């Protein structure tokens, strides 16, 4: 087992239990069905961790902390017989197909009957997920899609005035709209939530939800725009009515704050996008409040992203996540070519594919020698 993230730990647990008892389990697909929310909650409870299901259907620890679960998991794995080799860094395969590691005592070579790679993507280099494995797998003939930032922020060409005044300011209770799918026939998406204005652009849960579509539109079309509804609880008609309502001697800013609750960074964005004359034009101002366009320049660097897209192509592995070109070598977690939004979905897929790869390795190890030889052909 190479990699100690959630996918790696799950695969290790499956392997140590199945190799000890030599129990063959029917292969159930897809992996997420095999290890869905109910199974995840039962698994966590067996660790002594109580969970709850949120309104979105996702599973969360009752204490909303991951550390207690990780400590309990590691303790159980050690009791079950899993051995951890700390400060070892995999450096690829040697000339005899042996696994090579950089270790405190120097270079180590290991020959394994089965290997599960759970090395993550490339968005957490400080924790080891740096994508260094990509050229090693490609050199073995494995197709690997380019690793790209996912659940990431985006660059926007803000004015110096907006950066200075509103860097770090959250936009709460807004809605984001974006296009996804083919450029000729896109699908319009809309989601409520919040995000943050940064010195370089914007980031936060709403931006992460749209990041895959926005990244692909930038790649395929060369440009991408998202639209912010600053007042999603109000209709366009009511906003127009309030904007054009007589304000007497009050300033426009005072009027908008009083009648619509617009101030701070929301007003800052309106001034960023509209000229003074446009701000004074009721219909233009009302339309912009309900659909403020933001042109994106590009995603932030992958090492700043929460996760990464790309990785080992789906057709490069079999139904048990074993590499077609490297028999007995399985892949799991974020190094596979998939991506998902944050908030539990990433972890769920890592758990599920780790379990799936672990089951695949168990089956591989249980094959009689003659069957294993035939499968190599």
CA-to-CA separations, 277 to 160, 273, 293, 376, in angstroms, rounded: 21, 12, 18, 73
CA 70/CA 91 separation, integer angstroms: 26
Closest CA to 209 of 291, 154, 288, 131: 154
User: What was the pLDDT predicted at 58?
Assistant: 67
Please give the average per-residue pLDDT across 193-212, as a whole number.
96
User: What was the pLDDT predicted at 28?
Assistant: 31
Write out the E strands in the chain: 51-53, 59-61, 89-93, 99-103, 106-110, 115-117, 144-150, 154-155, 170-180, 187-197, 201-203, 224-229, 292-296, 298-299, 307-312, 329-331
User: What was the pLDDT predicted at 234?
Assistant: 97
Whether residue 372 has pLDDT greater than 70: no
Whether residue 307 has pLDDT greater than 50: yes
What is the dihedral sign for C-alpha 287, 288, 289, 293?
positive
- CB 334, CB 346: distance < 8 Å: yes
Whether residue 208 has pLDDT greater than 60: yes
**Sequence-separated (6 or more) residues with CB below 8 Å from residue 290:** 229, 230, 231, 234, 236, 239
- CB 226, CB 295: distance < 8 Å: no
Whether residue 214 has pLDDT greater than 60: yes
User: Mapping DSSP to helix (H, G, I), strand (E, B) and coil, where does residue 31 land?
Assistant: helix
User: What was the pLDDT predicted at 218?
Assistant: 94
Q: 190 forms bridges with which residues in the sheet?
A: 177
User: What was the pLDDT predicted at 24?
Assistant: 20
- CB 308, CB 298: distance < 8 Å: no
User: What was the pLDDT predicted at 57?
Assistant: 65
Model pLDDT for residues 177-193, shown as the tens digit of each residue: 999 888 888 899 999 99
Which of 344 and 333 is assigned the larger pLDDT?
A: 333
CATH 3.50.50.60 intervals, the chain: 6-150+304-376
User: Mapping DSSP to helix (H, G, I), strand (E, B) and coil, where does residue 317 land?
Assistant: strand
Average confidence score pLDDT of the chain: 88
Whether residue 230 has pLDDT greater than 90: yes
Closest CA to 197 of 184, 188, 206: 206
308 backbone dihedrals φ, ψ, rounded to 5°: -135, 150
Model pLDDT for residues 234-261, shown as the tens digit of each residue: 999 999 999 999 999 999 999 999 999 9
pLDDT band at residue 232 using 50, 70 and 90 as cut-offs: very high
CA-to-CA separations, 134 to 122, 197, 372, in angstroms, rounded: 10, 33, 27
The overall longest dimension of the chain from CA atoms, in Å, is 91
| Cis amide prior to 39 (ω within 30 degrees) | no
Token pair in block for residue 103: 């270790």
Token pair in block for residue 304: 């700043």
- CB 122, CB 147: distance < 8 Å: yes
Q: How far is CA 333 from the centre of its chain?
A: 11
User: What was the pLDDT predicted at 30?
Assistant: 56
CA 280/CA 311 separation, integer angstroms: 50
User: What was the pLDDT predicted at 56?
Assistant: 62
Model pLDDT for residues 121-156, shown as the tens digit of each residue: 999 898 889 999 999 999 999 999 999 999 999 999
User: What was the pLDDT predicted at 369?
Assistant: 53
Taking the domain 6-150+304-376, which CATH number applies?
3.50.50.60
What percentage of the chain reaches a pLDDT higher than 70? 90
CA 148/CA 252 separation, integer angstroms: 44
Question: How many CB atoms lie under 10 A from the CB of residue 312?
Answer: 23
- In terms of phi and psi (left: phi > 0; alpha: psi -120 to 50; beta: otherwise), the region of 184 is alpha
Give the residue carrying structure tokens 């409520």: 192
Model pLDDT for residues 71-111, shown as the tens digit of each residue: 999 999 999 999 999 999 999 999 999 999 999 999 999 99
């Amino acid at each position: 087992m190479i990699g100690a993230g959630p996918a790696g730990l799950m695969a290790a647990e499956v392997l140590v239990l199945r190799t000890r008892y030599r129990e063959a389990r029917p292969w159930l697909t897809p992996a997420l069905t095999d290890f869905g929310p109910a199974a995840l909650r039962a698994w966590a409870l067996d660790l002594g961790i109580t969970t709850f299901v949120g309104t979105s259907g996702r599973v969360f620890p009752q204490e909303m902390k991951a550390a207690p679960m990780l400590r309990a998991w590691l303790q159980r794995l050690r009791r079950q017989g899993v051995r951890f080799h700390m400060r070892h860094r995999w450096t690829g395969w040697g000339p005899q197909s042996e696994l090579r590691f950089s270790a405190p005592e120097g270079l180590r070579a290991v020959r394994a009957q089965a290997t599960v790679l759970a090395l993550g993507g490339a968005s957490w280099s400080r924790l080891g997920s740096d994508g260094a494995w990509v050229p090693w797998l490609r050199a073995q003939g494995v197709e690997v899609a380019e690793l790209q930032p996912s659940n990431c922020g985006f660059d926007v060409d803000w004015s110096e005035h907006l950066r200075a005044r509103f860097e770090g300011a959250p936009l709460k209770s807004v809605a984001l709209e974006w296009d996804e799918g083919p450029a000729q026939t896109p699908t319009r998406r809309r989601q409520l939530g919040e995000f943050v204005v940064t010195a370089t652009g914007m980031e936060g849960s709403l931006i992460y939800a749209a990041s895959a579509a926005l990244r692909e539109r930038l790649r395929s079309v060369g440009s991408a725009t998202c639209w912010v509804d600053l007042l999603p609880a109000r209709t366009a008609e009511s906003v127009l009515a309030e904007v054009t309502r007589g304000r007497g001697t009050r300033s426009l800013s005072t009027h908008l704050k009083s009648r619509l609750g617009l101030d701070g960074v929301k007003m800052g964005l309106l001034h960023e996008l509209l000229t003074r004359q446009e701000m004074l034009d009721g219909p233009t101002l009302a339309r912009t409040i309900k659909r403020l366009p933001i042109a994106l320049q590009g995603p932030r660097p992958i090492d700043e992203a929460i996760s990464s897209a790309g990785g080992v192509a789906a057709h490069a592995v079999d139904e048990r996540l074993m590499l077609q070109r490297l028999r007995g070598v399985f892949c799991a977690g974020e190094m596979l070519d998939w991506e998902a939004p944050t908030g539990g979905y990433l972890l769920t897929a890592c758990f599920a594919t780790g379990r799936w790869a672990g089951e695949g390795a168990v089956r591989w190890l249980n094959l009689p020698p003659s069957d294993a030889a035939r499968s190599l052909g």
